[in-house]
Structure 1
């Protein structure tokens, strides 16, 4: 991913938090030279000194069969994004697009049954624990779990390289920056309003 210096993110904690908040990623591998992709929820985990992304795909999805042949797999995570009109600047310029994105490269391997069960239990815990009637692993019947486990393949990706970009109008002066935030709040598009929130938080953090 091409990342100009203004937008490059290197802080590990910031990247980890971003992935946790935007964990529905895109997994990309190649099959006979052709890129293939799956969109799925992933978890970022640390084991000793290494980071891993874990998840699962349907058994019928042929992508898991490409893991062994691929030296590297790519996972992409994306946050809010929004069109930025150059009419919001003090001086004449061209429009652009603000966004947040993280690319993770690594090597993939298949989880054994016990590892898959643990990963699924953690996934349910993350997305269900705050609900009134949480559907957690130990509340599901063994018969249902056995049936569902036969239909999926779990995997983990050992993280080898991370590229992260926050394109948030950092190259604009303070007046332009604040005006962009205000204008984004006025847009009816949800992504634009989310981008305004991200830019507002960054402004407070940097002060």
Structure 2
């Protein structure tokens, strides 16, 4: 993606944190001669070779997976909080804009099978069940329920390139920057408030 130098994020630790906190992404590839996209959780993990990878799965009825073996190049897109920024919040005339965070991950995808599928599903369920009052565990599912795993295609994406952008009004002076935060907080919009929090962390 196009990233002006001012908004480029090259901090590995913050990118890893972002991917773990915003794991519901969009998997994009070319399937049957056209671009195809699926909205799914894509979990950042370290494989047996010590490489950073993304794990996920899609329904076998989704034709996207049929292209994985003939064209293994994929793009995964992740977005964080975002909000409209009104130019009325500046002390000078200017144009409105949008603040947002986004990460694009390019890599090679391969289908995984057998125990690796169950391991991937176990990690996924454990992550999102940890705050449940009565957490479920894959290990506790009946054989009948586990038969449903036949209806999915699990995969691993070997990461080749990461592009990260954090556009949070870095081009504004301290006075206008602070005022943007105040105005975002007034909106009572969860996305806008999340942007305000992100800006506060990086306040000049």
Task: Provide the TM-score with structure 2 as the length reference.
Answer: 0.96
Secondary structure at the aligned position of 1:98 is classed as strand
Do 1:79 and 1:100's aligned partners in 2 also have CA atoms closer than 8 Å?
Answer: yes
CA distance in 1 between counterparts of 2:132 and 2:80 reads: 24
Q: Secondary structure at the match of 1:143?
A: helix
How many correspondences in the alignment? 203
- Give the conservation status (yes or no) of the 8 Å contact 2:100–2:168: yes
What is residue 165 of structure 2 aligned with on the other side? 165
1:35 aligns with 2:32: no
Pairing 1:79–2:80 present: yes
Q: In structure 2, the residue corresponding to 1:130 is in which secondary structure?
A: coil
Gaps of 5+ in 2: none
**Do residues 89 (structure 1) and 84 (structure 2) align?**
no
Deviation (angstroms), 1:71: 4.2
Deviation at 1:114, TM superposition (A): 0.9
Partner of 1:118: 119
CA deviations on 1:42-63 (whole Å, 9 max, x unpaired) are 1101134411000000010000
Question: More deviation in 27-36 or 9-18?
Answer: 27-36
Q: Contact (CA 8 Å) 1:185, 1:193: kept in 2 or not?
A: yes
Q: Describe the superposition over 1:64-111 as per-residue Cα deviations: whole angstroms up to 9, x where unpaired.
A: 111122242000000011000111112211000000000000000001
Mapping of 1:185-204 within 5 angstroms? 185-203=185-203
Residue in 1 that maps onto 2:107: 106
Question: How far 1:123 moved relative to its partner?
Answer: 0.5
Instruction: Give the superposition deviation at 1:197.
Output: 1.2
Question: In structure 2, what is the equivalent of residue 152 of structure 1?
Answer: 152
Distance 1:71 1:175 in 2: 48
Preserved CA contact (<8 Å) 1:129 1:136? no
| 2: CA distance, partners of 1:11 / 1:78 | 17
